[in-house]
Amino acid sequence: MIVLAHIKEQSRLSLGSYGRLRMTEELKELDLNTGHRRVGRLMRENGIRVERSKKCKVSTESNHVFNIAPNLLKWGLPRRVVKPKMGG
């Protein structure tokens, strides 16, 4: 029951983002030496789940509000090739 109380508290503090492995590390920092399998079982039996953050969709057509450097290659400017210096 003590381990479960700490799991619930750590889950609340992490906003539900800690899984069993990270939760086990947090419990070890609190001097509660318990294995990740036990932590996973206690989390599963008590309905403590990881809340995954939603990833943003990447769109290729975006209207940027910020100043973005122009692509100089589109203007037809000649490319300057830098040759490496030879010698010693």
| Extents of the domains making up the chain | 2-45
Q: How confident is the model at residue 77 (pLDDT cuts 50, 70, 90)?
A: low
Yes or no: say if 22 and 43 are a contact pair by the CB < 8 Å rule.
no
User: Whole-number mean pLDDT of the chain?
Assistant: 78
The pLDDT, as a whole number, for residue 76 is 66
- Other Cβ atoms closer than 10 A to 11: 21
32-68 pLDDT tens trace:
889 999 988 998 898 888 877 767 666 666 565 666 6
Sign of the torsion angle spanned by Cα atoms 13, 14, 15, 20: negative
pTM exceeds 0.85, yes or no: no
